[in-house]
């Protein structure tokens, strides 16, 4: 039976992420999730698994950073009896347990180099050996990895294998931090209030409008995990009483973060629109850069990828959750469609590359598969 896993949020960023995740879920392609600590990387991985053809099989989460280096290979690949001191019996590893299901490798950037070599072989062939055995075992496990590290920096510093990195990121999904999707904060708050009020049998009286605004203004360095922990603490410690700014600030100050991390709510509300305008300007600049890159190609000079920015559109204002006090509504932001901008950018890139899809994809910083899908979608 499929477990009901959802990505909570109605902001443009999280809506777009859901769409990409559902497209990826229908395949067995390897996925690399990038995101800050507490932003919900494992939730996203479970969402992909729950919407895949493997949903009825095992989902095996592994925190690579929490397992001591000396036993990581044994945990991943299993071991035979007598393989090392303390191995009193044979044991299968996480990859065997995840056969025909999904294995989620969190903090993949912490994996030691010697283990990365064996892991690369598993990705490419599905084959591995238990520690202390020469027998080859095959696992049909779908691999989803996650990290909060700058993997390009890790590769440059030789702390992570370049071939493994690019093999892992067949598809890369970036989960936005909570501060970039402030419109989802009250929706998440309502969800957590319902969860913990039910769990602890508490009748919650709600938040004052000023306290709800304070939740919106806080930048949440611990992301969704911090918000979830705060809501549980509020309900349990304050015994469900009406939450005012003084009560909420007391809990936030205990974390030594609030006063230095509040920000302008108007800036949060307009963040996505500002990003869109910035991306439009950047798209124009990149069109001229494509011409320069093509000249380098013709001269057989190396060049780096040109990344197409992920632009978003500000969605219509959403009603605040039922448990939250009503807030004054601002005038809806003017809607802008970026489909025509993206279509034009791709069309111009194709023209400048004389229809060569490989060069066009390279210039735009996307895969050929994505380019083919965009060409078909826009009827180019």
Inside any domain, residue 2: no
Same domain (yes/no): 276, 243:
no
Which of 206, 233, 261 terminates a domain? The answer is 261
Q: Are residues 74 and 221 in the same domain?
A: no
Which residue, 157, 176, 195, sits at the end of a domain?
176
Q: What's the pLDDT at 353?
A: 78
- Read off the pLDDT of each residue in 337-356 and give the average, rounded to a whole number: 75
Query: pLDDT tens-digit profile of 265-275?
Result: 444 444 445 44
Q: What share of the chain has pLDDT > 90, as a percent?
A: 54
pTM flag (> 0.85): no
Quick check: is 5 in a domain? no
pLDDT at 263: 47
Model confidence at 336, pLDDT cuts 50, 70, 90, reads very low
250 and 152, same domain (yes or no): no
Confidence band of 343 (pLDDT split at 50, 70, 90): confident
Looking only at the bridges linking them, the beta strands covering 31-34 and 171-174 are parallel
What's the pLDDT band for 313 if we cut at 50, 70, 90? Answer: very low
7 belongs to a structural domain: no
pLDDT value, residue 339:
66
Tokens of 102: 């999904």
Q: Same structural domain for residues 187 and 211?
A: yes
Q: Are 241 and 189 members of one domain?
A: yes
CA distance linking residue 287 with residue 304, whole number of Å = 15
Other Cβ atoms within 10 Å of 286 Cβ, number: 21
First to last CA, the chain: 41
Q: Does 16 share its domain with 162?
A: yes
Q: Can you tell me the mean pLDDT for 228-249?
A: 94
- Give dist(CA 99, CA 58) in Å, integer: 8
CA–CA separation, 243 and 246 (whole Å): 8
Within this chain, do residues 41 and 129 fall inside the same structural domain, yes or no?
A: yes
> What tens digit of pLDDT does each residue of 153-181 get?
999 999 999 999 999 989 999 999 999 99
Q: Both 52 and 165 in a single domain?
A: yes
Tell me the residue range of the domain where 357 lies: 271-378
Alpha carbons 91 and 114: distance in angstroms, whole number: 21
- Averaged pLDDT for residues 292-308: 50
Looking at residue 308, what is its pLDDT? 31
Average pLDDT over residues 82-102: 88
Domain co-membership, 284 together with 146: no
pLDDT band at 284, cuts 50/70/90?
Answer: low
- Please tell me which residue, 312 or 129, carries the higher pLDDT value: 129
pLDDT of residue 161: 95
pLDDT on residue 303: 43
- CATH number of the domain residue 50 falls in: 3.40.50.300
One domain for residues 210 and 138: no
Q: What DSSP state is assigned to residue 73?
A: H
Same domain, 202 and 105: no
Residue 6 maps to a domain: no
Task: Confirm whether 342 is domain-assigned.
Answer: yes
pLDDT at 368 over 90: no
* 138 and 73 both lie in a single domain: yes
Domain-terminating residue out of 155, 176, 197:
176
Q: Using one digit for the tens of pLDDT, what is the confidence trace for 9-43?
A: 999 999 999 999 999 999 999 999 999 999 999 99
Asked whether the predicted pLDDT for residue 67 surpasses 50, the reply is yes
Q: Is residue 1 part of a domain?
A: no
Domain count within the chain:
3
- Tens-place pLDDT, residues 119-147: 999 999 999 999 888 899 999 999 999 99
CATH number at residue 208: 1.10.8.60
Of 367 and 204, the structure prediction assigns the larger pLDDT to 204
**Residue 358 counted as domain residue:** yes
Nearest to 13 by CA among 35, 30, 32: 35
189 domain-assigned: yes
């Amino acid at each position: 039976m499929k477990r009901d896993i959802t990505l909570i949020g109605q902001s443009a960023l999280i809506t777009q992420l859901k769409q990409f995740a559902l497209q990826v879920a229908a395949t067995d392609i390897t996925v690399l999730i990038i995101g800050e600590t507490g932003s919900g990387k494992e939730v996203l991985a479970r969402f992909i698994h729950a919407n895949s053809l493997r949903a009825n099989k095992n989902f095996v989460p592994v925190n690579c950073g929490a397992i001591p280096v000396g036993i990581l290979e044994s945990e991943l690949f299993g071991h035979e009896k007598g393989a090392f001191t303390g191995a009193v019996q044979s044991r299968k590893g996480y990859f065997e347990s995840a056969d025909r299901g999904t294995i989620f490798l969190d903090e993949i950037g912490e994996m030691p180099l010697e283990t990365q070599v064996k892991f690369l072989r598993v990705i490419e062939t599905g084959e591995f050996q238990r520690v202390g055995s020469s027998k080859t075992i095959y696992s049909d496990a779908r691999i989803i990895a996650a990290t909060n590290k700058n993997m390009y920096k890790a590769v440059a510093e030789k702390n992570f294998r370049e071939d493994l990195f690019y093999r892992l990121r067949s598809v890369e999904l970036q989960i936005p931090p909570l501060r970039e999707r402030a419109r989802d904060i009250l929706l998440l708050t309502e969800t957590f209030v319902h969860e913990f009020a039910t769990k602890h049998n508490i009748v919650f009286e709600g938040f004052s409008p000023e306290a709800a605004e304070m939740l919106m203004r806080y930048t949440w360095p611990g992301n969704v995990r911090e918000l979830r922990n705060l809501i549980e603490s509020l309900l349990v410690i304050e015994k469900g009483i009406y939450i005012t700014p003084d009560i909420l600030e007391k809990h936030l100050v205990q974390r030594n973060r609030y006063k230095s991390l509040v920000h302008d709510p108007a800036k949060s509300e307009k963040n996505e629109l500002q990003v869109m305008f910035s991306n439009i300007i950047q798209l124009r600049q990149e069109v001229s850069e494509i011409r320069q890159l093509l000249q380098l190609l013709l001269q057989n000079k190396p060049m780096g990828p040109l990344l197409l920015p992920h632009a978003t559109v500000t969605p219509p204002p959403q009603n605040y959750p039922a448990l939250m006090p009503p807030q004054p509504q601002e005038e809806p932001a003017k809607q802008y469609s970026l489909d025509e901008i993206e279509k034009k950018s791709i069309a111009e890139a194709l023209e400048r590359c004389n229809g060569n899809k490989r060069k066009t994809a390279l210039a735009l910083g996307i895969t050929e598969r994505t380019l083919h899908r965009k060409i078909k979608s826009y009827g180019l």
